Amino acid sequence: MLRVIRVRFSYLCLFVVILVLGYFSLRVIYDHMENRRVAALSWSLANKVIVVDPGHGGIDPGSKGPTGAIEEDITLEVARKLATVLSQAGAIVLMTRESDMDLSDAEGGSLLARKRQDLSRRVALANEHEADAFISVHVNSFKSGPLEHGAQTFYQPGSEEGKKLATSIQSELVRMLRNTNRKAKAVDYYTTRNAKMPAVIVEIGFISNAKEEKLMGDVDYQGKLAYVIYSGMVKYFAEHATPTSGAVDKEKAMETFMHNKGETYNAP
């Protein structure tokens, strides 16, 4: 009887192992197919004007992690990588800052006044260029809860297109990072409220969490974050493309591809 139970237990263990291997194999296949789908849909970004906003900088360095990482540095590196991959897809990318700076006047008054001026000019850049999307990159911080973790995307309450863009990006963050189960959330921010196009704020992780602070400082992980945000944007614009929207203009798409530098930026 004991031998029979042991044999049955062995078969049960084998069955569990096969199920686990099958699950992970299917997940790898699914991710591969999704990444190929993103590559095939990248035309949807051709000639789209995208404003990429690295949060903070200059007078406002943002949050600081437990080992000294600073928000303004992380957001700039991820934003640069995002701008690169968007450009390779044929998008016209405008960065609100490309160094440790802000957009306020040096003699603009108090820190609060200068911060308001900085934010207003970031949004004005997008509005003046009639951008198709405004993507602001930030890191989250919750000092009283250092175990809080996970990237999350925010959009302006009442903005249906902002919600769709945020949901698309958040779905990719969950699918590809596998370290967050957070959902896109509606929050009233100055930039998303005043942007005249779909606008989102992507909090790429908690700098107050030592593990995520380390991750966000890693060059490869920064590249992965950039690709994930890009992937969500591709799916959003592909879903909204129509034969009359101009997004499928093959001549324009080919022109933009011919003008990019030819670097490769593969899925992580």
Query: For position 3, what pLDDT does the model report?
Result: 53
Burial class (CB within 10 angstroms; exposed 0-12, middle 13-18, buried 19+) of 90: buried
φ and ψ at residue 89, rounded to 5 degrees:
-85, 0
Q: What is the pLDDT of residues 86-105, one digit of tens each?
A: 999 999 999 999 999 999 99
Q: What is the pLDDT of residues 212-263, one digit of tens each?
A: 999 999 999 999 999 999 999 999 999 876 443 444 444 544 444 444 443 4
Sequential DSSP letters for 71-121: HHHHHHHHHHHHHHHHHHTT-EEEES-SSS--SS-TTS-SHHHHHHHHHHH
Element holding 139 (H helix, E strand): strand 133-140
Is-contact 212 70, C-beta < 8 A?
Answer: no
Query: For position 40, what pLDDT does the model report?
Result: 82
Element holding 202 (H helix, E strand): strand 199-206
Is-contact 167 184, C-beta < 8 A?
Answer: yes
Query: For position 210, what pLDDT does the model report?
Result: 96
Query: For position 241, what pLDDT does the model report?
Result: 64
**Residue ranges of the chain with per-residue pLDDT less than 50:** 2, 23, 242-250, 252-265
Structure tokens at 131: 């951008």
Q: Which domains does the chain have, with CATH numbers?
A: 2-259 (3.40.630.40)
Tokens 């670097």 map to which residue? 263
